[in-house]
Amino acid sequence: MKRIADPSVRRLSAYLRFLEDCQARQVPTVSSDELARLAGTTSAQVRKDLSFFGSFGKRGLGYEVPDLIARLRGILGLGRPWHFVIVGAGKIGSALAQYAAFRERGFHVVAVYDTDAAKIGAALDGHRVRDVAQLLEDAPLDHPDIAVITVPAASAQATADLVVRAGIRGILNFAPAPLRVPHGVTVQTVNMATELEVLSSALAHHD
Amino acid sequence: MKRIADPSVRRLSAYLRFLEDCQARQVPTVSSDELARLAGTTSAQVRKDLSFFGSFGKRGLGYEVPDLIARLRGILGLGRPWHFVIVGAGKIGSALAQYAAFRERGFHVVAVYDTDAAKIGAALDGHRVRDVAQLLEDAPLDHPDIAVITVPAASAQATADLVVRAGIRGILNFAPAPLRVPHGVTVQTVNMATELEVLSSALAHHD
Ordered by start, the domain boundaries in chain A are 6-75, 82-194
Give the pLDDT score at B1.
Answer: 44
pTM of structure? 0.84
Q: Quick one: which of A129, A176, A139 has its CA closest to A156?
A: A176
Per-residue HEC secondary structure of chain B comes to CCCCCHHHHHHHHHHHHHHHHHHHCCCCEECHHHHHHHHCCCHHHHHHHHHCCCCCCECCCEEEHHHHHHHHHHHCCCCCCEEEEEECCCHHHHHHHCCHHHHHCCEEEEEEEECCCCCCCCEECCEECEEHHHHHHHHHHHCCCEEEECCCHHHHHHHHHHHHHCCCCEEEECCCCCCCCCCCCEEEECCHHHHHHHHHHHHHHHC
Mark yes or no for CB contact B82/A203 under 8 Å.
Answer: yes
CB B120 within 8 A of CB B131: yes
Picking from B94, B186, B196, B205 by the largest number of A CB atoms within 10 A of its own CB, the best residue to mutate is B196
Q: What is the mean pLDDT of chain B?
A: 89
CB A188 within 8 A of CB B198: yes
Give the pLDDT score at A6.
Answer: 75
pLDDT exceeding 70 applies to what percent of chain B? 93
Give the pLDDT score at B171.
Answer: 97
Distance CA A163, CA A130 (A): 14
Query: What band does A3 get if pLDDT is binned at 50, 70 and 90?
Result: low
Distance CA A122, CA B56 (A): 52
Q: Quick one: which of A82, A85, A74 has its CA closest to A103?
A: A82
Distance CA A204, CA A199 (A): 8
For chain A, the C-alpha Rg in angstroms (whole number) is 20
Fold that domain A6-75 belongs to in CATH: Arc Repressor Mutant, subunit A (1.10.10)
Distance CA B77, CA B91 (A): 29
Compare CB distances from B6 to A38, A196, A198 and report the shortest one's residue.
A198
A15 burial via Cβ count (<10 Å: 0-12, 13-18, 19+): buried
> What class, spelled out in words, does domain A82-194 have in CATH?
alpha beta
Judging contacts by C-beta atoms under 8 Å, the chain B residues touching residue A199 are 146, 170-172, 186, 188
Give the pLDDT score at B160.
Answer: 97
Compare CB distances from A13 to B17, B171, B197 and report the shortest one's residue.
B197
Neighbours of A153 (CB within 10 A): 13
Q: When comparing pLDDT for B43 and B141, which is higher?
A: B141
Give the pLDDT score at A205.
Answer: 81
Helix and strand numbers, DSSP H then E, in chain A: 9, 10
The DSSP H or E segment spanning A66 is helix A65-75
Give tens-digit pLDDT for A111-165. 999 999 999 999 988 899 999 999 999 999 999 999 999 998 899 999 999 999 9
Q: Does pLDDT of A103 surpass 90?
A: no
Q: Quick one: which of B73, B145, B137, B58 has its CA closest to B105?
A: B73
Judging contacts by C-beta atoms under 8 Å, the chain A residues touching residue B204 are 76-77, 79-80
CA-nearest residue to B21 within chain A is A177
Mean pLDDT of A94-111: 88
CA-nearest residue to A200 within chain B is B77
Compare CB distances from A176 to B17, B79, B176 and report the shortest one's residue.
B17
ipTM reported for the complex surpasses 0.90:
no
Picking from A76, A200, A203, A205 by the largest number of B CB atoms within 10 A of its own CB, the best residue to mutate is A200
Picking from A112, A190, A199 by the largest number of B CB atoms within 10 A of its own CB, the best residue to mutate is A199
Judging contacts by C-beta atoms under 8 Å, the chain B residues touching residue A85 are none
| β-bridge pairing A123-124 and A127-128 | antiparallel
Judging contacts by C-beta atoms under 8 Å, the chain B residues touching residue A6 are 198
Q: Of the spans A86-95, B130-139, B170-179, B184-193, which averages the highest pLDDT?
A: B130-139
Query: What band does A54 get if pLDDT is binned at 50, 70 and 90?
Result: low
Give the pLDDT score at A129.
Answer: 96
CA-nearest residue to A3 within chain B is B202
Q: Does pLDDT of A101 surpass 70?
A: yes
Q: What are phi and psi of B200, to 5 degrees?
A: -65, -35
Q: When comparing pLDDT for A18 and B171, which is higher?
A: B171
Mark yes or no for CB contact A186/B199 under 8 Å.
Answer: yes
- The β-bridge partners of A124 are A127
B98 burial via Cβ count (<10 Å: 0-12, 13-18, 19+): middle
| Angstrom distances, CA of residue A136 to CA of A161, A163, B164, B172 | 11, 8, 49, 37
- Residue B133 identity: A
B23 burial via Cβ count (<10 Å: 0-12, 13-18, 19+): middle
Mean pLDDT of A45-52: 85
Mark yes or no for CB contact B146/A196 under 8 Å.
Answer: yes
Give the pLDDT score at B73.
Answer: 93
Mean pLDDT of B182-195: 90
Q: What is the mean pLDDT of chain A?
A: 89
Q: Does pLDDT of B144 surpass 60?
A: yes
Query: What band does B174 get if pLDDT is binned at 50, 70 and 90?
Result: very high
Distance CA B151, CA B149 (A): 6
Give tens-digit pLDDT for B14-48. 899 889 989 999 999 999 998 888 777 888 889 88
CA-nearest residue to B2 within chain A is A205
Distance CA A149, CA A173 (A): 5
- Ramachandran class of A124: left when φ > 0, alpha when ψ lies in -120 to 50, beta otherwise: beta
Give the pLDDT score at A1.
Answer: 44
Judging contacts by C-beta atoms under 8 Å, the chain B residues touching residue A84 are 196
- DSSP, res A58: B
Q: Does pLDDT of A20 surpass 50?
A: yes
- Residue A84 identity: F
Give tens-digit pLDDT for B39-71. 778 888 898 888 876 656 666 678 899 999 999
CA distance A88 to chain B (A): 13
CB A12 within 8 A of CB A72: yes
Strands, DSSP E only, in A96-197?
A: 107-114, 123-124, 127-128, 130-131, 146-149, 170-173, 186-189
Q: When comparing pLDDT for A51 and A28, which is higher?
A: A28
Mark yes or no for CB contact A205/B6 under 8 Å.
Answer: no
Q: What are phi and psi of A99, to 5 degrees?
A: -85, 105
